[in-house]
Amino acid sequence: MSEHPISRETFIRGAAVGAAVASAGFPAFIPSRGEAADILKIGNTEENTGVYSALARNQTRGMSMVLEKWNKKGGVLGRKVEIINEDNANDPGVAVQKARKLVNQDKVAALIGTVSSAVALSTSGAANSLNTLFIDTGGHADPITGKNCHWNTFQVCHTTWALSHASGYGIAKKFGKKWYMITPDYAFGHSLAEGYADVIKHVGGQIVENDLAPLGTSDFSPYLTKVLAAKPDVFIVNGLSGDDYVNCMKQASSFGLLKKIPAAGPYAELETVWALPSVARVGYWGTEWYYKGDNVLGSANAEAKAFAVEYRKRYNEPPTPRSCFGYVTMDRLLWAISETKSTDPIKLAHTLEGGEFQSIWGSKASFRKQDHALIWPMWVGTLRPNGSPSDKYDVFDVEDEEPGDKIFITPEEASKACSLGYP
Which domains, and CATH codes, for the chain? 38-158+291-373+408-423 (3.40.50.2300), 161-287 (3.40.50.2300)
pLDDT for position 293: 75
How far apart CA 260 and CA 250 sit, in angstroms, is 15
pLDDT for position 120: 98
The pLDDT tens digits for 294-321 are: 777 777 788 998 999 999 999 999 999 9
The pLDDT tens digits for 360-381 are: 998 899 999 999 999 999 999 9
pLDDT for position 10: 40
pLDDT tier at 23, thresholds 50, 70, 90: very low
pLDDT for position 296: 74
What region, left, alpha or beta, does residue 25 occupy, with left being phi > 0 and alpha being psi -120 to 50 degrees?
Answer: left
pLDDT for position 9: 43
Q: What is the mean pLDDT of residues 85-104?
A: 98
Residue 270 has pLDDT above 60, yes or no: yes
Q: What is the mean pLDDT of residues 176-182?
A: 98
Q: Angle 185-190-194 (CA atoms, 0-180°, nearest 5)?
A: 155
Q: In this structure, are residues 137 and 112 in contact, taking their beta carbons and an 8 Å threshold?
A: yes
| CA neighbor of 283 nearest in space, from 171, 179, 393 | 171
pLDDT for position 6: 40
351 phi and psi angles, rounded to 5 deg: -75, -40
Q: What is the mean pLDDT of residues 122-131?
A: 98
Secondary structure (H, E, C), 298-360: CCCCHHHHHHHHHHHHHHCCCCCHHHHHHHHHHHHHHHHHHHHCCCCHHHHHHHHECCCEECC
The pLDDT tens digits for 46-79 are: 999 988 999 999 999 999 999 999 999 999 999 9
Average pLDDT, the chain: 91
Percentage of the chain exceeding pLDDT 90: 84
Residues facing residue 46 across a β-bridge: 87
Enclosing H/E stretch for 82 = strand 80-87
Q: Which residue has the higher pLDDT, 19 or 196?
A: 196
pLDDT for position 309: 93
Residue 30 has pLDDT above 70, yes or no: no
pLDDT for position 3: 38
pLDDT tier at 16, thresholds 50, 70, 90: very low
Q: Among 48-62, 217-231, 242-256, 291-305, where is mean pLDDT lowest?
A: 291-305
pLDDT for position 301: 82
pTM of the model: 0.89
pLDDT for position 358: 87
